[in-house]
Amino acid sequence: MRVPFRSSPFLLFAMAGLWTSESWSASPTLSVILPRGAARGATAEVVFHGANLGDAVDLLFHEPGLSLAKMEVVDSNQVKCVLGIAPDTPLGPQPVRIRTRTGISNLALFSVGNLRELAEPEPNDDPKNAPEVPLDSTVNGRVTSEDVDFYAVQLKPGDRLAVEIEALRLGTVLFDPKLRLFGPAGHELIAEDDTSLCAQDAAFVHVAEATGRYTVAVSEAAYGGAENDYYRLHLGRFPRPLAMSPLGGVSAATTTVTWLGDPGISTETLSVPETSIPRTVRVSSKSQAGESPTRLRFRSSPYPGILESEPNNQADQATPGSIPGAFDGILSQAGDEDFFQFPGIPGQSFEVRVWARELGSPLDSVLAVFGPDGGALLSDDDSAGIDSVGRITTSSTATHRIEVRDHLGRGGPLFSYRVEVNPIRPTVNLTLLENKPVQAAVPRGNRALLLLSAQRNDFGGALNLGFGRLPDAVRAEHQPFREDLSTLPVLISAATEAQIAGALVDITAAHSADPSITGRLSQDVVLVYGDNEVVFLPQRVDRVALAVTDPAPFEIEMHQPKVPIVRGGAMDLVVRARRAPGFADAIDLRVPWTPSGVGAGTGIIPAGATETSVHLDAGSGAALGTWKLAVTGSSAGWTVATPFIDLEVSEPWVTFEVVKAETERGKPVEMTVSLTQAHPFAGTFKAELLGYPGGISVPPLDFTRETTALQFPITVTPEAPSGKHEGLFVRAILEASGETILHQSGGGQLVVYDPLPPELQQQQPTPAPAVEAQAEQPKRKTRFPNG
């Protein structure tokens, strides 16, 4: 049924004064930033390429160090920017987005270097005429189809040449580069494809043995290439370790690490970033020759650690340590196995985790933990991606042992690892569902909806949410995050007077009963996929990129129901749109979230129309209570949301017990349905028996609050199908406060038999023959009284 709908005053104001035809553009997208990077400590002019960039106003940087000095819009597909790059900006790819008056772009990467920046000199496809590049330079180049780029450097005996390429890690496309080094005589000295530290990218260090001209070749691994296969090639004397040990240190302390894979450097003392809980940070290798062009992943932990002491490849040679703590080592050769031991803590539970592949080691770990009796407490291979993880409980202070090996028995000088044994502590992880870019565009005078997911680890309970650094006149609205909820809709609303602005917004959660249990948003934005959506390059972000934009050309609102949806029932939610003058596109509607047991359909407000409905169904176990519900609408590149309504889910006001009835084809039958009233209602309403096949008819019956049973007369024609017809149900539509409440009760069955053949129906039964009365026989005498 149609229900009255009232427009809000702010909506009418927005419609009257804020919309312009220029604001009907779609959301911006970024395809590539050129050049792909620049040196820190200076400014750099770059061009952002993409679509719908004509109203660009700002950039959002996820990490410190980069800033926008100047922006010039060239056209809808290009924006020129002058970037300021602070001297202490972290090296390597940095995430950035472009913000326009109508939206916010996908995340892209811009790489920060510390060497001389050069553009690819052309031609450079002939190794004999390869252009010479001064050492300690970064070349910004591109590999097109079947292209091979050559660069020459001059070396003397003993000179180190460090080479690293950023290609896949630039986050543009699935570009798998290959590096080769040729000596002065033209012989191939090194061919490097995928270096574990660099994912699909490559790196190597070579010490020259002869004086002369060395040539570096860059190609796609299969000698392909494409228009967007850009790279940054670093060549120089800088340190380029390919691994390290240990792979972690104590928070806020100094740790001496041994660099692996670069013969020109050995050890370095690092200052470990401070952290209250174990987490992964980034560190650089520095020497008199410079700094590594990209950083290495490293673990910071409040717990102490120990390095393996060789030999420790047998259980009785295990290196001793303590828990909670960390155990670092290297599987230095094929077949190597490392053992550690520690005294247990009675009744204490721990998570045991190998950190190797995730930190750039080639190791595919297999982890085992043994109790004092030698029995396995834990055995794991790949529960943490390629790394291993599991839980143990130590029952005594006796000696426990850890074993680490490679799944294929491999080993080598780069096969470093770290085993962390950490106390199990309650945590909560927040992510956004149905939002791969982790972003939100909120039009002025309108709303955007975020679907927030919370994973509670080792605790249960309600959560308190926090939203930091929201722009002025922007607010977040949500219902309480109850303990039985794992997903929650959040409305981000921008007032009509909100300014065009952008921010990176923290979302945090804390246990309502124990505020020390906290968590925050942490989510991977996938930049490069392979076939079948295999993830090749994720970028972790910890804040939502939010933009307040020009008004959208439409707004949607939902009618607030005055009645509940009942279990087993249904409801049509009326949604109405207010359109800007001249905007007539269709608007697609969906309900991103419903309470448990409630299903929702989709809807379309047709072109030029202003109203439609979205259907809801409530199952028999739908979650009872009052819930915040919103609908989103998408059109012309915009997505907005309705204000929340309060949707009440209740028990049925009246239930119908539908039973079983039997008859033959062509014979009527009655079905008695009893009524139970659970909520007072007034008036006379109709109940329909439904779910039967063709050839059967049942008239609706009236009922009131006083009715306790209904006798449904069922007409069964001779053509009705025979058999068991299950799924009969009663549907009744009650009315209260001028709105309807649909009730449905099922479980009925109608069995229709085939009638007997006519000859059997007319045949009279043969009477049984009369039995003649027999004279009573004299009882046989016996000496046995019971015989």
- Whether 405 has a pLDDT exceeding 90, the answer reads yes
Q: Which range (613-622, 638-647, 673-682, 769-778) has the least confidence?
A: 769-778
- Say yes or no to pLDDT of 335 above 90: yes
Amino acid present at 470: L
Calculate Rg over the CA atoms of the chain. Answer: 37
- The residue type found at 206 is H
Report the percent of the chain where pLDDT is more than 90: 92
Could you read off the pLDDT of 106-149 as tens digits, one per residue?
999 999 999 999 999 999 999 999 999 999 999 999 999 999 99
Residue 615 has a pLDDT of 97
Which residue bears the tokens 């952290």?
275
Q: What is the pLDDT of residues 450-505, one digit of tens each?
A: 999 999 999 999 999 999 989 999 999 999 999 999 999 999 999 999 999 999 99
What order of strands is seen across the sheet that includes strand 296-301? 248-250, 296-301, 279-283
Both structure tokens of 454: 């919370």
User: Using one digit for the tens of pLDDT, what is the confidence trace for 210-265?
Assistant: 999 999 999 999 999 999 999 999 999 999 999 999 999 999 999 999 999 999 99
Q: How many CB atoms lie within 10 A of CB 313?
A: 18
Phi-psi region of 279 (alpha: psi -120 to 50; beta: other; left: phi over 0): beta
pLDDT class for 779, splitting at 50, 70, 90?
A: low
Q: Write out the DSSP string of 495-515.
A: -TTPPSEEEEEEEEEEESS-T
* pLDDT of 12: 37
CB 176 within 8 A of CB 220: yes
Of 538, 469, 540, the C-alpha closest to 507 is 469
Q: Looking at residue 17, what is its pLDDT? A: 42
CB 63 within 8 A of CB 87: no
Report the alpha-carbon distance of residue 693 to residue 750 in Å, rounded: 10
Containing 219, the helix (H) or strand (E) segment is: strand 212-220
* Gap between the Cα atoms of 606 and 584, Å rounded: 9
φ, ψ for residue 167, nearest 5 deg:
-140, -75
DSSP secondary structure of 167-210: SGGGTSS---EEEEEE-TTS-EEEEE---GGGTTS-EEEEE--S
- Within a 10 A sphere around the Cβ of 48, how many other Cβ atoms? 27
Provide the whole-model pTM: 0.89
| Strand, helix or coil for residue 670 | strand
* CA separation for the pair 600, 617 (Å, rounded): 6
Q: Tell me what the mean pLDDT of segment 720-747 comes to.
A: 95
- Bridge partner list, 701: 687
Tokens at 140, concatenated: 């910004």
Q: Is 640 helix (H, G, I), strand (E, B) or coil?
A: strand
Distance of alpha carbon 287 from alpha carbon 37, whole angstroms: 23
> Measured between alpha carbons, how far is 94 from 523 in angstroms, rounded to an integer?
16
Pairing verdict, β 669-677 and 279-283: unpaired
Residue of higher predicted confidence among 755 and 700: 700
pLDDT in tens, 529-552: 999 999 999 999 999 999 999 999
**Confidence at 756, pLDDT banded by 50, 70, 90:** confident
pLDDT, one tens digit per residue, over 384-400 is 999 999 999 999 999 99
Say if strands 709-716 and 669-677 run parallel, antiparallel, or are unpaired.
antiparallel
- The single-letter code of the amino acid at 430 is L
User: Within 10 Å of residue 768's Cβ, how many Cβ atoms?
Assistant: 6
Judge whether residue 30 has pLDDT over 50.
yes
> Is the pLDDT assigned to residue 558 strictly greater than 80?
yes
* Tens of pLDDT, residues 267-283: 999 999 999 899 999 99
Q: In whole angstroms, what is the distance from residue 556 CA to residue 641 CA?
A: 7
**Model confidence at 5: pLDDT above 90:** no
Task: Using DSSP bridges, classify how beta strands 587-590 and 632-635 pair: parallel, antiparallel or unpaired.
Answer: antiparallel
HSE toward the beta carbon, residue 165, CA cutoff 13 A:
29
How does pLDDT run across 299-321, given as a tens digit for each residue? 999 999 999 999 999 999 999 99
Q: Which of 22-31, 119-128, 428-437 has the lowest mean pLDDT?
A: 22-31
Contact 615, 572 (CB under 8 A): yes
Contact 339, 313 (CB under 8 A): yes
State residue 27's pLDDT score. Answer: 86
- pLDDT category, 777, cuts 50, 70, 90? low
Residue 643: closest CA among 543, 454, 500, 495: 495
What is the reported pLDDT for 628? Answer: 98
Residue 176 to residues 126, 144, 170, 537: CA-CA distances in angstroms?
Answer: 21, 13, 11, 12
- The whole-chain average pLDDT of the chain stands at 93
Residue 51 has φ and ψ, to the nearest 5°, of: -140, 150
Q: Are 120 and 141 in contact (CB under 8 A)?
A: yes
**Secondary element (H or E) of residue 142:** strand 137-142
Start-to-end CA span in the chain (Å) = 85
Rounded mean pLDDT of 34-43?
97
Q: What is the pLDDT of residue 787?
A: 41
Provide the pLDDT for residue 26. 72
Quickly list DSSP for 332-362.
Answer: -STT-EEEEEEE--TTEEEEEEEESGGGT--
Cα–Cα dist 12/444, whole Å:
13
Q: Are 5 and 562 in contact (CB under 8 A)?
A: no
Strands (E), 426-543: 427-433, 439-443, 446-457, 463-468, 474-477, 487-494, 501-511, 518-520, 523-529, 535-541
Those residues with Cβ within 8 angstroms of residue 212's Cβ, 6 or more apart along the chain or in another chain:
154, 155, 183, 184
Half-sphere exposure at residue 225, Cβ-oriented, CA atoms within 13 angstroms: 17
What pLDDT, in 10s, does the model give residues 637-686? 999 999 999 999 999 999 999 999 999 999 999 999 999 999 999 999 99
- What is the spatial distance between Cα 151 and Cα 667, in angstroms, rounded to a whole number? 95
Distance CA 711, CA 643 (A): 45
Which has the higher per-residue pLDDT, 584 or 16? 584
Name the band, by pLDDT with cuts 50, 70 and 90, for residue 743.
Answer: very high
Q: Which amino acid is at 106?
A: N
Take residue 434 and report the two structure tokens written for it: 């149905």
- Phi (first) and psi of residue 165, to 5 degrees: -120, 135
Question: pLDDT tens, 172-192?
Answer: 999 999 999 999 999 999 999
